[in-house]
Amino acid sequence: MATWDNCAFMKTHFSLGDFDFALPEELIAQHPAAQRSASRLLDGRNSPPVDRRFTELPGLLQPGDLLVFNDTKVVKARLFGQKASGGKLELLIERVLSPHADQGHEVAAHMKVSKKPLPGAVLQMDGGFTATLLGRWPEESGPLYRFRLSSDPYALMAQHGHVPLPPYITHTDSAEDEQRYQTVFAKNPGAVAAPTAALHFDEAVLAELEARGIRRASVTLHVGAGTFQPVKAENIAEHTMHFERFEVPPATREAIAACKARGGRVVAVGTTTVRALESHAKFGPECDDTNIFITPGFEFAVVDLLLTNFHLPKSTLMMLVSAFSGYEHIMALYRHAIEQRYRFFSYGDAMLLARKSP
């Protein structure tokens, strides 16, 4: 049961149920908007919020602000095949461990199958290649499975894989998804989920941002399937986050320092960018794998504004945005978004948030 500070009437302790809300199923976007930047934008920097179009974003920022994007590239990580017995199975490659032949072509993957095969089993995959089960990963009791593929994992995914659409998107992947479940600046392959806040940007919006003197920088965080992992513990402090690989390159660190020095604001495009920037600030440049769990009470060191999509009820991302802009404010924004029929989740609309004062 959540407790309340009797003076400020603000929540001070949170449980999983505090981040729940009722969402009409028809508000879950199954397809992207006709054009990338044709989505809506809820300007939630203040109360009451303002309903806008995404194309208005450049006018909401200031010359000297720094937009930081996640330049990860979604790989076609969903592969299908069968066991020797003929039983069907599905692999979702979470991480390429060693892409080259002399390193074993090894990957870590989720496996969906009726009866798990034993280590040493050779799986016949659609497309004519094989996947040999080596064991669990990262250790014997790890949540993933380690496989050796018969050829280069990236080449096999590109040729035979399917776009790893989120579980709430009900159609099978199509040519539309291959193009639109990817940002226009995706560069570094390795994600199994898109940094969805960045899906709204097209070349026209990027050009207007540049013309207004708004700078750009990039981080890389390879979004894992764990981003959709449900939180099962009612006491959210008992939840353990999944690890994701990330990098904040020196040029981005320098751009952030310069932005702060000139009085500009760091605008994170998406929660994955927040996780990368705040992990780097908290753990230093030697950290390249993060399971940071951002909940109310977290002290942000880098990000001033956040552009994000609308998130799943009771998700770690609901907790992150509540930490950033305040729990009551976020819940009010979500009520407004539902009342105004905003589109939710990966292919849905966006909102702009300001960091609350400590």
CATH topology of domain 78-160: Thrombin, subunit H (2.40.10)
Query: Domain 4-74+177-354: which CATH class?
Result: alpha beta
pLDDT given at position 12? 54
Other Cβ atoms less than 10 A from the Cβ of 349: the count is 24
pLDDT, one tens digit per residue, over 141-172 is 888 999 999 999 999 999 999 999 999 999 99
> Angle 327-339/316-325 helices, nearest 10 degrees?
110
**Where do we find the tokens 């709204």?**
200
**Lowest-pLDDT range, 18-32, 160-174, 218-232, 262-276?**
218-232
3-state secondary structure of 281: helix
- The torsion defined by the Cα of 164, 169, 174 and 177, in degrees rounded to 10, comes to -70
Mean pLDDT of 256-263: 97
Residue ranges per domain, the chain? 4-74+177-354, 78-160
pLDDT, one tens digit per residue, over 210-254 is 999 999 999 999 999 888 888 999 999 999 898 999 999 999 999
Per-residue confidence band for 101, with pLDDT thresholds at 50, 70 and 90: confident
